[in-house]
Structure formats: C-alpha cells, structure tokens
Amino acid sequence: MNSWILVADATNARLFEVSRPSRQNGKTPALRLLRELSHPQSRLKVHDLVTDARGRSRNPTGKSRRSAMEQRTNPKIAEEQQFARELAGVLGDAREQDAFAALALVAPPKFAGMLRSNFDRKLDRRIVATIEKDYANLPERDLGGRLSETIRLLRARSEEASTPLVRTNESPRRPRTARS
C-alpha cells in the first residue's frame, strides 16, 4: 500500500507519494508529486480580505456615541483555517478510498496544528510523522534529502501494511517439564 507526504503551509500544499526503490539498483526518485493545491486568499492582506468598513452599533445607554465593532476572527486566520479544512477533506476522501496506508505531515507548527484539528480519528491514526518545518516552497529535488528519515519510516510502515496478517486459533504449546 502507498505512503504519502503532505508538504504544506497556509497558502500552498503539495501531496507526494513515496515510491519504493527498484529491485535492480535500489534507487528511484523517492517522491512522486500527486497533487498541488493552493489557496491564494491566504496570501492577501487583511484589508484586501475585508470588503466593508467595520460595523457600528449604538451604545446600550442610549447615547449617540458610536463604536466600531471588532471582528471575532482575524480574516487572514479564517482563510488559513479554510485551507486547512480543504486539505483535511482531500486527505479524508483519499483515506476513505484506502489510497494510502501511512501519511507524513510537513508544515509550520501553527498550520500543522490547524490541519490536525480538522482530521478525524481514522485519518489521525494514519499519520506516522509530523515535521513542523516550512518546506512548502522548497524545490522537489531538495525535499528528498531533507525528508530522508521520514521516507525510510514511511517505506517501513508501507511494508507492514502490505504484509498480510496471519492469525491462528491455536495457542503455542510449551514443552512439559518432568516433575520430581
């Protein structure tokens, strides 16, 4: 079964499949790009995300003094959370189709937390490693070297997942010892 690596930040995400080494020379490109996603709204500045001026309300005492209402959530953070939900949806759909056995998550700490908070239990169980680094803009050729230990871990987990589990109903027999 396949293993995947999600390399993401608040604006871009790349989903890679960890390929197995060939039996002939033991070397193949470690990562194969499956999909790229982007969320351009996360790149915008706050004043570009908010189209209106802040709302106003009257003071409850009845005086004519007005105050600007504060937004509950920073619009930039709201867009980052939206992208995290979108990525969690993509991964959840792939998990339901059993497209991967193991997943490594590579994202800056803040965004990694946003992603994990949107994962369901079944998806969360498939995460083998979380690397809290910002490698989203790193070229693909450099990712293999930076993630070599994670790739080895994913390959091992993939091997475990593809090995059939054999169960027997028999309990192991212990040799009898002579009593004196």
The CATH number linked to 31 is 3.30.420.60
pLDDT band of residue 49 (cuts 50, 70, 90) is: very low
Is there a domain that residue 22 lies in? yes
Domain count, the chain: 1
Is there a domain that residue 118 lies in? yes
Is there a domain that residue 66 lies in? no
70-79, 93-102, 148-157 — which one is most confidently predicted on average? 93-102
Question: What ranges make up the beta strands (E) of the chain?
Answer: 3-8, 12-18, 31-38, 56-58, 66-68, 102-106, 127-131
Mean pLDDT of the chain: 78
User: What domain range includes position 116?
Assistant: 3-45+73-162
% residues pLDDT > 70 (the chain)? 64
Model pTM? Answer: 0.71
Is there a domain that residue 170 lies in? no
**Residue 116: phi, psi to the nearest 5?**
-60, -35
pLDDT(36) > 90: yes
Is there a domain that residue 102 lies in? yes
